[in-house]
Structure 1
């Protein structure tokens, strides 16, 4: 073994575990903070809905770039240095938005935000699990996922509330986030390091994520399902506020942020409700629940109904949570132990492609069709993808023999 992990039982106190979850959530808050503010940037700078999706997509490009070249760097350098690097990128991103004077700093801020998320996605998840005391070990993976998803959801909610009801709508959210990040940095500095090397530290070499041949039969449908689920997230964290303003007449930024928050909160509920359901059954179920949510989202655009949009966001979020946790569990269980990290990174690469590519397509379509019709096309395509994967997976589930057979 290249390193020796400390046993969480050696740390009877729970504060490092809770502190790591807080740090994880704070960084993820920063990645979605601009969501309800894009309309204000459009008014200030002057750009199209397509440019909104491109600005959003460069975030995903930053995440993917880090996952591709540095997915396992914390196994060599340790968790704490990588967490500190991610916090540094998050703070730099906030400063870019704080002093923005046009598109260049918006792009720079989103790229740096992507770097922070890429550094945290795997490292913080592992850190939370390693720092969990023995009596919370069984819930540690869910705690890490909840910190991730609720952090993503709290970003739009925080920015929407501050932009709507406080001064400096394009400055105050980032000042607040810098304060939260400063607290997170102090906590990270005193977190116990869980990586110890028995001998000389291994050389740090970039390792591109790949999928072992024996894992591909599970990986392909699970990753495609994650692609569809994250595409829904991409829609809500990029152009959903514009949909609400232009199609539904909702101009309150706090309401826009709340709707996005409910989507991520519902994902957390979906992941928690997985319970003891086998992954091979939870994955197709999540796909079908996602289809139902997407149908409601499309219906809300046709009927111009905010209530239907909220219902669709919640249902789609639950479906995404089910399929995401089930897919990740299935891929991790099938992957060889010595390649689990890179296989998981490959899974996240596909997921983050889903959060970027489709929304750019929506932005491009909106120039020709308008946001409403572009949203309908997106909903239909995502429904076909998720439904097809659900049917494929359902047919692959082994049938239980009948009693007496």
Structure 2
């Protein structure tokens, strides 16, 4: 079915964005750079995502879904080639920027295409299918790369050769997919406005705060988690690193699915409470160098992130006027992708001066404080349906 083809392509594109996660340790040993440089390499990915969101976020509404999805796969393939032919830091930086551009193109376009192509009887589950493809891809990337790094003879080449084959299959299955949007003339690329209307701000602020805390956590696990495992916990197995990161995204998917049962206005503050609990467990894992605690903390934090993230996006969409919804959602996602990059660079800077363990402890404390403040804000000023703060 066409929507399954798009879901597969979505999964492959997002998988490519997290493939390097368990390989950073190998690159460090090969190229001799620091943990700070690992976080910088990771952070440039967010630059690509933000550029794509600002300049190209509405492109598929004009040229059609399929051309944008195919362009995203081309960028994903170019990113894999940069890593496959890597000759130093410039190749890693180029690969991450291209990967970010691919993700920025895919996130909104593929979600819309899955919903539009889903059979009528599956209409209610189409958005969840898009979410599962997104988070499943993000989680499968580190797991696939970790397993290949453990068992393949040349992991830094095999991982991206396999990725290129998956991308090629995605292109082939996308080609016969029907277009759902008529093409318009006079396409113009210009930055999208990022203004949030005043009536939406009571919903936007807690959603952005919760999202910042949750995406900062995802950024930590997809950048320096392997360093924590090797230098703090004493586990150097890339397969284990990939499995831990995969657990975060699997739990996030579970949290997003659970949100529908809990309800938007309860899920956001309770997701923050669960995220605080996850940070406490991660804090304990770093303090005691415990792998089981780190895995448990990853699962708990991922669950809280998923709950609060989907609740925040849903709440902001509900409060936004239809003619401003894309603009407001873009503003929210720019905040989230800033959150996935800048805090982990801060961890890298602190690791140089304080040490990696202390940097992780400070990070978990800051995220817990932000999530707790969001939960308190929601308790004091709940957002009522229709956009008025209660």
TM over 0.5: yes
Matched residue, 1:5: none
Alpha-carbon separation, structure 2, partners of 1:262 and 1:157: 9
Separation in structure 2 between the aligned mates of residue 203 and residue 128 of structure 1, nearest angstrom:
23
CA distances 1:89-115 after superposition (whole Å, capped 9, x unpaired): 100000000000100000000000000
Q: Secondary structure at the match of 1:274?
A: helix
Looking at structure 1, the residues matched to 361 and 63 of structure 2 have their Cα atoms a distance apart, in angstroms, of 46
- 1:201 aligned residue: 185
**2:147 pairs with 1:156:** no
Paired position in structure 2 for 1:223:
208
Q: 1:184 aligns with which of 170, 179, 183?
A: 170
Q: Shift of residue 202 of structure 1?
A: 5.1
CA distance in structure 2 between the aligned counterparts of 1:91 and 1:291, rounded to whole angstroms: 38
User: SS at the partner of 1:299?
Assistant: helix
Deviation at 1:277, TM superposition (A): 2.7
Larger mean Cα displacement after TM superposition, 312-321 or 211-220:
211-220
Question: Quick one: which of 12, 15, 24 aligns to 1:38?
Answer: 24
Q: Give 3-state SS (helix, strand or coil) of 1:196's partner.
A: coil
Alpha-carbon distance between aligned partners in 1 of 2:382 and 2:371, rounded to the nearest angstrom: 17
Deviates more, 1:136-145 or 1:209-218: 209-218
**Distance in 2 separating the partners of 1:226 and 1:78:** 29
User: 1:271 & 1:201 partners in 2: Cα distance?
Assistant: 38
Say if 2:15 and 2:138, in contact at 8 Å, map to a contact too.
yes
Q: CA deviation at 1:336?
A: 1.2
CA deviations 1:230-249 (Å, max 9, x no partner) are 00000000000010000111
Paired residue for 2:388? none
Q: Deviations over 1:45-104 (max 9, x none)?
A: 010000000000000111011111111111011101110111011000000000001000
Offset of residue 174 of structure 1: 0.3
SS in 1 for 2:22: helix
Task: Kindly indicate whether residue 37 of structure 2 is the aligned counterpart of residue 51 of structure 1.
Answer: yes
Kept in 1, the 8 Å contact 2:203–2:383? The answer is no
- Structure 1, gaps ≥5 residues long: 1-14, 400-405
Q: TM-score, normalised by structure 1?
A: 0.93
The structural deviation recorded for 1:212 is 2.3
Question: Could you tell me which residue of structure 1 aligns to residue 387 of structure 2?
Answer: none
TM-score (structure 2 length as normaliser)? 0.96
Question: Does the 8 A contact of 2:63 with 2:182 survive in 1?
Answer: no
Distance 1:246 1:392 in 2: 37
Q: Which residue of 2 is the match for residue 6 of structure 1?
A: none
Match among 311, 315, 323 for residue 300 of structure 2: 315
Quick check: 292-301 or 185-194, which moved more? 185-194
Q: How many residues end up aligned between the 2 structures?
A: 383
CA–CA separation in structure 1 for the residues paired with 2:318 and 2:348: 37
Aligned residue among 97, 101, 106 for 2:92: 106
Alpha-carbon offset, residue 346 of structure 1: 1.3
Q: Identify the residue that residue 341 of structure 1 maps to in structure 2.
A: 326
2:127 counterpart residue number: 141
Give me the whole-angstrom Cα distance separating, in 2, the residues matched to 1:369 and 1:207: 39
Moved more, 31-40 or 386-395: 386-395
Counterpart selection for 1:234 from 216, 219, 225: 219
Stretches of structure 2 lacking an aligned partner (at least 5 in a row): 385-390
Cα deviation for residue 203 of structure 1 reads 3.6
Secondary structure class of the residue paired with 1:167: coil
Contact 2:66/2:179 (<8 A) preserved: yes
Matches within 5 A, 1:270-349: 270-349=255-334
Q: Deviations over 1:326-348 (max 9, x none)?
A: 00001111111122112111111
RMSD: 1.2
Query: Which residue in 2 is equivalent to 1:173?
Result: 159
Q: What is the alpha-carbon distance in structure 2 between the residues aligned to residue 181 and residue 331 of structure 1?
A: 33
Which residue in the other structure is 1:126 paired with?
A: 112
- TM-aligned CA distance change 1:220 to 1:398, over 3 Å: closer
Q: Is the 8 A contact 1:71 1:342 kept in 2?
A: no
1:369 Cα deviation after fit: 0.9
Q: What is the match of residue 95 of structure 1?
A: 81
Q: CA deviation at 1:204?
A: 2.4
Partner of 1:378: 363
